[in-house]
Amino acid sequence: MLRTSELTKDFGGLTAVDDVDFALDDGELCSLIGPNGAGKTTFFNLLTGVLTPTRGTVEVREQGGWRDVTDATPYETANLGLHRSYQITNVFPTSTVLENVRVAAQAASNDGAKLWRNAEAFERHREEAHRILDRVGLADEADTAAESLSHGAKRQLEVGIALAGDPDVLLLDEPNAGVSSESVDRIIDLIEDVATDHAVLLVEHNMDIVMNVSDRVVVLNQGAVIAEGPPEEVRGDPTVQEAYLGGYEAGSLDADETAPDADAADAGTDPEEGTA
């Protein structure tokens, strides 16, 4: 569904993403992990057209072959079925929950750019929005202003917005960040649910979540892939233990905790990530 070849991003003398070859298969849930500043969010930004790579390529699969989207804009990559959520909650706060999703559905259909449009299109997008809200567990909050939601519910709404337009690939950037422990199970269930009919690339610091939901794990450190494979294989890799996991054992983290050394890493390593 998605692949990169020799993908690299330099910021002056700093290489934030370093020669990354990556592929995401149809129906796969792959987690991307690594210390703060490892290049994870920069990698997402390269995939979705927010940033242009220094070198390398990004391709998405279409009927009949692969399409190069290396120089595509975020709008173009979204129209090609590559949708994302953000590390920092990103919704229209004063609009209702339903309107947040309806507008996303309308934008994904290109109806938003038409001056004269069939009134039935609005109803179609509203129906899609209602279906999505039911799926993400927010049907009862349809008429609530987004700013009134709990942080966990806002995260659910972000996933709902990303689902609008029925994308092929979902990129989820720390959907559990800042979520209370009682809300984490709902987010996990939602991630597993959307992975049943979408390819999902997940950035997540909670290793219990990563090890439980992932089909495959890719580890970035200083912008480069240092390991990838099934969760159990990656967890036991000495290089990964030294660079990131720091003695992690299954069940050793509470729901709202990150990997042992994640917060100790240099948060300024990646100028595009901040603390990701």
Asked whether residue 272 carries a pLDDT value surpassing 60, the answer given is no
* DSSP H stretches of helix in the chain: 40-47, 74-79, 97-108, 119-136, 151-163, 181-194, 207-213, 231-235, 238-240
- Residues forming beta bridges with residue 2, ordered by sequence position: 24, 60
Ramachandran region of residue 97, left (φ > 0), alpha (ψ -120 to 50) or beta? alpha
Looking at residue 205, its pLDDT comes to 86
The structure tokens listed for 272 are 């595009």
The structure tokens listed for 238 are 């000495």
Looking at residue 182, its pLDDT comes to 78
Please give the backbone phi and psi of residue 172, each rounded to the nearest 5 degrees, phi first.
Answer: -110, 115
Looking at residue 244, its pLDDT comes to 86
Mean pLDDT of 247-259: 53
Asked whether residue 265 carries a pLDDT value surpassing 50, the answer given is no
Cβ proximity of 265 and 35 under 8 Å: yes
In the chain, CATH 3.40.50.300 covers 1-81+167-276
pLDDT band (50, 70, 90) for residue 114: low
Looking at residue 123, its pLDDT comes to 87
pLDDT band (50, 70, 90) for residue 247: low
Q: Domain 1-81+167-276 belongs to what topology? A: Rossmann fold (3.40.50)
Write out pLDDT tens, residues 46-72.
Answer: 999 999 999 999 999 988 899 999 999
The residue among 212, 178, 172, 226 whose CA lies nearest residue 35 is 226
The structure tokens listed for 17 are 């993403």
The one-letter amino acid at 142: A
pTM of the model as a whole: 0.83
